[in-house]
Amino acid sequence: MVNYRGSSLMRTSLTSKFLSRKQSPTAIALYIIFLFAFSIVIFLFNAGNIVEDKQNPIISHESHSQSQSQSQSQSQLLQVADEELWGAPSSHGLRPCVKPTSRYKAAQGSGHYLTVKSNGGLNQMRTGISDMVAVAHIMNATLVIPQLDKRSFWQDSSTFSDIFDELHFIKTLQGDVRIIRELPKELELVPRARKHFTSWSSMGYYKEMMQLWEDHQVIHVVKSDSRLANNDLPLDLQRLRCRALYHALHFSPPIQSLGKKLVDRLRMRSGRYIALHLRYEKDMLAFTGCTYGLTDAEAEELRIMRDNTKHWKIKEINSTEQRLGGFCPLTPKEVGIFLQAVGYPPSTLIYVASGEIYGGDARLLELMSHFPNLVFKEQLATEKELKAFAKHASQSAALDYIISIESDVFVPSYSGNMARAVEGHRRFLGHRKTITPDRKGLVRLFDELEGGQHREASSFSYLVRQIHKNRQGAPRKRKGPSPGIKGKARYRTEESFYENPYPECICSSKAV
């Protein structure tokens, strides 16, 4: 749902202005004082209450040993602060595990074909395609390379091979499912069974669907998103989903190569960086009815957009309640206050993965006043390099994806398909640090700050850090449905398989 046409010209001029400013000695002195004050806060914080993570008690050992070493000397103290900001949570020996069990067999499926229309944005398509690999395996069918969504909000004409490495996809899954580029000529005109498969279906559902083979040689799947349950599937099927998404579905060579270049350029700028998925686009705000911090005219513009978008069912939204419930994307300003409170210094390099920010540069300035070192891909890549990506939202999103996966820290300002996919992939790759803002808790603290209740910046920072202690991407099992919700609705409340493929695709070394 994101529109990736950014106001690149504005961004370039704005940021270069900030970037070109030399750091004055006063600024450096202030920075050192800030770091010092901050490490004291950390020291007090760690030496005091160490809150046990109930879901994941293994974490607390680490905190104990850290607080001991912190009391030794000040230089070490700074180091620990640095490690807390940039270090990945401990994986506790957990590793990716995607190998099939000894019972597993490839699907031969030579006579039956599955054609797929993959819907949604880049990450909805990626996870949907991985699910379709699993569905083809259950149904013993040959999978035809999926067609990508061209009509959706994204308006991207890219084909599968523009975005993904098709040959690699086919070859990697050779031992799982037969995949072919196109339906054989003689089958092009035979009537297909057109199916809207039920959302979050079980393996049993697809076994039943195999009855369709009695009358049809080809099944056409009209939508690929969320067609397969998150939980209660055989281990081999879950691992197949991981092989499909993480091993087989690589981006095409041009995307992969530019993505790597951009990561290298970021590393050259400062060694390490935060990737911020700043979900603050017009459609998102209109959809969620979030108007906090906007002008009346802007709020009205969003209301009209919501009214006019037929497939958005909910029209009346109380923005205040929405925000207090934690259902609004953080504003750029809130993101700035948040990251500062977590302890990132103003010089931190932040890569902004996003579409066009609603309210434009004026609103972005509210983040830049805290973190002047913001970069967009328009500043990292030359015009010539980006030319091939213009008007291809999904390819552009793929660059953001690569940069987000490779970042030292990933921070999504809102949940969504991209945030979930990146978080899950980072968990899979070794629990790279992902800080997931507790939006509900933060909004309460922001309002208290606004109301003058936190006169000490350190006490505010302490509270922010406290509620994010266990939201850093450390290992934990995928969450099941919310309690008390019955029937189909509970599937909606489960944590997505691709947001956290633990335990099926992440195991302790012993268990592999």
The DSSP-derived string for 202-256 is: -HHHHHHHGGGGGT-SEEEES--TT-B-SSS--HHHHHHHHIIIIII-PBPHHHH
Instruction: Work out whether 482 is an interface residue with ligand NAG (CB under 6 A).
Output: no
Nearer to ligand NAG, 249 or 290 (CB): 290
Nearer to ligand NAG, 97 or 173 (CB): 173
Nearer to ligand NAG, 389 or 446 (CB): 446
Q: Which one, of 64, 70, 235, 203, lies nearest residue 138 by Cα?
A: 203
Q: Site for ligand NAG (CB under 6 A): how many residues? A: 8
Q: Of residues 110, 157, 482, 509, which one binds ligand NAG by CB under 6 A?
A: 110
**CA-angle at 512, arms to 250 and 470, nearest 5°:** 75
Which stretch, 59-67, 220-228, 315-323, 440-448, contacts ligand NAG (CB under 6 A)?
315-323
Measured from the CB of residue 104, what is the shortest distance to ligand NAG in angstroms? 12
Measured from the CB of residue 316, what is the shortest distance to ligand NAG in angstroms? 9
Q: Of residues 52, 208, 321, 450, which one binds ligand NAG by CB under 6 A?
A: 321
Q: Both tokens of residue 412?
A: 């999504």
For residue 496, give every residue at least 6 positions away whose Cβ sits within 8 Å of its Cβ, in sequence order, or none: 127, 230, 420, 424
CA distance 284 to 417: 13
CA distance 423 to 125: 16
For residue 46, give every residue at least 6 positions away whose Cβ sits within 8 Å of its Cβ, in sequence order, or none: 63, 66, 67, 70
Which stretch, 105-113, 235-243, 339-347, 406-414, contacts ligand NAG (CB under 6 A)?
105-113
Which stretch, 103-111, 129-137, 349-357, 424-432, contacts ligand NAG (CB under 6 A)?
103-111
Instruction: Work out whether 211 is an interface residue with ligand NAG (CB under 6 A).
Output: no
Nearer to ligand NAG, 111 or 253 (CB): 111
Q: Of residues 318, 459, 482, 493, which one binds ligand NAG by CB under 6 A?
A: 318
352 contacts 375 by C-beta, under 8 angstroms: yes
Integer CA distances (angstroms), 507 to 94, 463, 503, in order: 5, 33, 6
Nearer to ligand NAG, 12 or 318 (CB): 318
401-430: contacts with ligand NAG (CB under 6 A): none
Nearer to ligand NAG, 109 or 475 (CB): 109
Instruction: Work out whether 320 is an interface residue with ligand NAG (CB under 6 A).
Output: yes
Measured from the CB of residue 184, what is the shortest distance to ligand NAG in angstroms? 14
Instruction: Work out whether 191 is an interface residue with ligand NAG (CB under 6 A).
Output: no
In the chain, the N- to C-terminal Cα span, in Å, equals 38
Q: Which residues of 337-372 are buried (b: 16+ CB within 10 A; e: fewer)?
A: bbbbbbbbbbebbbbbbbbbbbbeeebbbbbbebbb
Nearer to ligand NAG, 41 or 143 (CB): 143
116-155: contacts with ligand NAG (CB under 6 A): 140
Which stretch, 40-48, 76-84, 107-115, 408-416, contacts ligand NAG (CB under 6 A)?
107-115
Instruction: Work out whether 204 is an interface residue with ligand NAG (CB under 6 A).
Output: no
Q: Of residues 48, 111, 191, 253, which one binds ligand NAG by CB under 6 A?
A: 111
Nearer to ligand NAG, 323 or 392 (CB): 323
Instruction: Work out whether 109 is an interface residue with ligand NAG (CB under 6 A).
Output: yes
CA torsion sign, 433 to 283 to 161 to 188? Answer: positive
Which stretch, 106-114, 193-201, 343-351, 457-465, contacts ligand NAG (CB under 6 A)?
106-114
CA distance 343 to 210: 55
Integer CA distances (angstroms), 213 to 202, 209, 217, 510, in order: 19, 8, 6, 42
Lateral strand order in the sheet of 409-412: 374-375, 350-353, 274-277, 409-412, 433-434
Q: Which one, of 166, 172, 107, lies nearest residue 141 by Cα?
A: 107
Residues of this chain that bind ligand NAG (CB under 6 A)? 108-111, 140, 318, 320-321
